[in-house]
């Protein structure tokens, strides 16, 4: 066996560096994910927003993708030394001071229940709450857009009441409609595309969240506040 082949077959320890409430791990050769390991809360997200601003300015950064208390950094080229990069990210995390984004307030009119609320019954079973209570808890909440992702203009909303947390489905719905108001784990959001979807639908909202021809294609932005306004409740 030649030396180079031996090198490839040698087990490589997974790089996962952790320090001061954050850990960094690679996704492929050019992307690195920093995850805040603390609470799933606004305080963590504010530091992620601050970190995003700092890392965006690095010369080797191609793209930054803030997620839910995490940040994916995509580099222009594969770094020779991933550990160095991971340490720089952790340093930047430590220096990241909390910032708040002054967002807009967006009100979304929702039809709760009805034909699109395919998972409302399952949510009632899991939570032990009535459908009326689940719906009320959902529209009484005030939510913040933590990040956009998954599909064009889709906003991940934080602020869901733990009583109506609901894990993503093991088998996704094959053809969930655009506009379905959904719960995925500790998060909520409005489906922006019709298609396969692993989140749980409890209602429907008529709105256009994305326009590729616009100078600002996405309606929501991180930091925005979202409220759901019940137009009707069909139970």
Which positions touch another protein (CB under 8 A)?
A: 7-16, 23, 25-31, 33, 35, 40, 62-72, 74, 77-82, 147-154, 156, 167-168, 170, 184-187, 192-193, 195, 210, 212-213, 217-218
Indicate the residue among 103 and 185 with the shorter CB distance to another protein: 185
Question: Which of residues 23 and 138 has its CB atom nearest to another protein in the complex?
Answer: 23
Shortest Cβ 221–another protein spacing (Å): 8
Residue 41 neighbours by CB distance under 10 Å:
13
CB nearer another protein, residue 2 or residue 105: 2
Which residue intervals of the chain are DSSP H helices? 3-9, 42-56, 82-95, 120-127, 131-140
**List of residues 6+ apart from 13 with CB closer than 8 A:** none
* 120 Cβ contact partners less than 8 Å away, ≥ 6 residues apart: 112, 113, 131, 134, 135, 201, 202, 203
CB of residue 113 vs another protein: minimum separation in angstroms? 26
Find where tokens 């409220």 sit.
Answer: 227
The secondary structure of residue 97, as a DSSP letter, is P
Pick the closer one to another protein by CB: 128 or 212: 212
d(CA 116, CA 111): 9
How far apart are CB 120 and another protein at their closest, in Å? 20
Q: Report the nearest approach of another protein to the CB of residue 82 (Å).
A: 4
Which of 135, 183 has the CB closer to another protein? 183
Cα–Cα dist 232/224, whole Å: 24
Quick one: 92 or 135, whose CB is closer to another protein? 92
Residue 104 CB, nearest approach to another protein (Å):
15
CB of 89 vs another protein, minimal distance in Å: 13
Among residues 21 and 152, whose Cβ is nearest to another protein? 152
- For residue 26, how far is the Cα from the chain centroid? 18
Whole-number minimum distance, CB 33 to another protein, in Å? 6
Contact 121, 128 (CB under 8 A): no
* Residue 121: C-alpha distances to residues 1, 126, 191, 203 (Å): 60, 9, 19, 12
C-alpha 230/C-alpha 233 separation (Å) is 7
């Amino acid at each position: 066996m030649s030396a180079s082949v031996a090198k490839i077959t040698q087990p490589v320890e997974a790089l996962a560096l952790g320090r001061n409430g954050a850990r960094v791990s690679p996704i492929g050769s050019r992307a690195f994910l920093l995850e805040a390991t603390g609470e799933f809360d606004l305080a963590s997200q504010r530091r992620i927003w601050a970190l995003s601003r700092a890392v965006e300015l690095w010369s080797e950064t191609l793209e930054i993708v803030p997620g839910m208390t995490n940040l994916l950094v995509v580099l222009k080229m594969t770094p020779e030394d991933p550990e160095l990069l991971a340490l720089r990210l952790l340093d930047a995390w430590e220096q990241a001071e909390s910032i708040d984004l002054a967002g807009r307030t967006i009100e979304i009119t929702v039809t709760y229940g009805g034909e699109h609320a395919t998972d409302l019954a399952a949510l009632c079973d899991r939570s032990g709450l009535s459908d009326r209570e689940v719906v009320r808890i959902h529209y009484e909440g005030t939510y913040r857009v933590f990040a956009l992702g998954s599909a064009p203009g889709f906003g991940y909303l934080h602020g869901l009441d733990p009583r109506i947390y609901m894990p993503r489905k093991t088998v996704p719905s094959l053809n969930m409609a655009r506009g379905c108001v959904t719960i995925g784990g500790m998060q909520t959001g409005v489906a922006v595309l019709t298609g396969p979807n692993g989140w749980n639908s409890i209602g429907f909202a008529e709105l256009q969240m994305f326009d590729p021809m616009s100078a600002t294609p996405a309606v929501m932005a991180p930091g925005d506040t979202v409220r759901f306004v019940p137009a009707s409740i069909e139970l």
